[in-house]
Structure 1
Amino acid sequence: MPEFTLTLREVREEATDTRTFAFDSEPRVVARPGQYLLVSLDAPGDPRRGSRSLSIASAPSDPGLLLTTRVRTASPFKRALDGLAVGDRIRAKGPLGRFYLPEGDAPAVLIAGGIGVTPFRAMVRASIDAGRRSPVSLITSDRTPDSIVFREEFDAWSVAHPWFTVTRTVTRPAESGAPWTGPVGRIDERRIGPALRAGAVLVAGPPSFADGMQALLASAGIPGDRVQIERFQGY
């Protein structure tokens, strides 16, 4: 498995307690959208010795390698990651994984729970770069309005590219002071209409979310061979 050095070039606040870490890689790493890296950090007190899987949010056309994650937990790994300064270097392996948006003209649906939206940012950006015209529907579920990741970017892309649409729902809007006039509650059968007509359905999020979506899609009669699941483990 290839191993390389990542040098931190920038940190961006994407949403509440959510940051994008932009790295330069040596040698330059080009990942297929949907893949992830195995990142190693010096994280004192970490029983897993500071190595975790992080999905890549960047497409090949983006400057640098983008890793986006929640940082609200107090785990040793998260503290070490959030404590990095510009110019710091870490080690990584990869890219890994086979969670891909299929090629071709068939409509696709991307269903994300929270930070599970990360690989979909890479997929949509790459689809724009490739001149895609077939429909891609992004359906997301977040806890609060201020925890929605890549909100402005996805909204701008949906305006500029009519084949790309975004549907959002928030489960606990009252926990945030941010305004919300959109749907409230979990993704249910009312929200997955586009998936019934899609050639591919990709689901990413925490295990409980992914399992729930897998069951929902199966109950709607969507064949399992049209569904890909990526479970984000907590760390």
Structure 2
Amino acid sequence: MGLLSSTPLEFADRWEEDGGVAVFAFTATKPFRHIAGQHGIFTIKGGGTRPFSLASAPGDEQVVIATKLDSGSKYKKALAALRPGDRITMRGPIMKFILDGAGDEVVFLAQGVGITPFRSLLRHIDTAGLGVRSTLLHLGDGHAFKAETEQLASDARYHRDREDFAVDLKQVATNAPNATYYISGMPKFIAETSAALKDLGISRKQIRKDNFRGY
């Protein structure tokens, strides 16, 4: 990771989303480039270092991340204590959870705060005018970014029950057998959802996975 570029970020704002998700917005002090769906590695002085998906799209003015703070870890406490003007550092971007090679139809399958990279991807599809048809299924006790993602996705469905999610997953896989499927959430959710897709006839090469890394 020593070769990754480093970007100082200035904390600008924080707000709360449904499901106990805290959203943090930063202003970059110098230009940097990233691709929608990528991660950054964030270092807070006195708190440590963690990777996060970027919830912001490449054309956005601010760098946005989202997480739950209830773990009470040293890092989360330092993140929660940030005040406007405080500076942290981001290295990267990293990872390949992106649209390249996906074609004109995508299905986003998210659990909880795993919605984060899909906010970035949906905002990018919209602002770049890519003409990509997008379906979003979100499973969780709450639905962060619901108002925005519901508007941006071609078809968005939100579930609190795993069985209801499975019913819609079967319907979507039947109607979109050639789409590229993206899965973001806890490892168990990713494994189970990936297995379900394969049982529904979706090939391994159509499935892209993003395990929780810094949430």
> TM-score w.r.t. structure 1 length?
0.82
Partner of 1:84: 82
Q: Does 1:194 align with 2:184?
A: no
What is aligned with 2:205? 225
Closer, same or farther in 2 for the Cα pair 1:133/1:73, shift >3 Å?
same
* Residues 186/192 of structure 1: CA separation in 2 closer, same or farther (3 Å cut): same
- Report the number of matched residues: 210
Gap regions ≥5 residues in structure 2: none
Q: Is the 8 A contact 1:34 1:98 kept in 2?
A: yes
Q: Please list the CA deviations of residues 60-90 of structure 1 after superposition, one character each: whole Å capped at 9, or x if unmatched.
A: 2222111111122211111111111111001
Please point out which of 129, 132, 137 is paired with 2:130. 132
Partner of 2:155: 165
Q: CA deviation at 1:234?
A: 6.0
Give the Å deviation of 1:156.
3.0
Name the % identity: 26
Provide the aligned C-alpha RMSD in A: 1.9
Amino acid at match of 1:194: V
Corresponding residue of 1:59: 57
The separation in 1 between residues aligned to 2:77 and 2:70, in whole angstroms, is 9
Aligned counterparts of 1:195 and 1:83: Cα–Cα separation in 2: 43
CA distance in 2, matches of 1:38, 1:65: 12
Residue 180 of structure 1 corresponds to which residue in structure 2?
Answer: none
Q: 5+ residue gaps in structure 1? A: 45-49, 159-163, 172-183
Quick check: 1:57–1:66 contact (8 Å CA) kept in 2? Answer: yes
Q: Which runs of 4+ in 1 moved over 4 A?
A: none
The one-character-per-residue Cα deviations of 1:13-54 (angstroms, maximum 9, x if unpaired) are 12242121111113222310000111112346xxxxx11110
CA distance in 1, matches of 2:67, 2:200: 31
Q: TM-score, normalised by structure 2?
A: 0.90
| Amino acid paired to 1:154 | T
**CA–CA separation in structure 2 for the residues paired with 1:75 and 1:195:** 38
- Structure 1 residues 181-233: Cα deviation after superposition (integer angstroms, max 9, x where no partner): xxx74631543432342420000011111111111111112100010000004
**8 A contact 1:206–1:234 mirrored in 2:** no
CA distance in 1, matches of 2:214, 2:30: 29
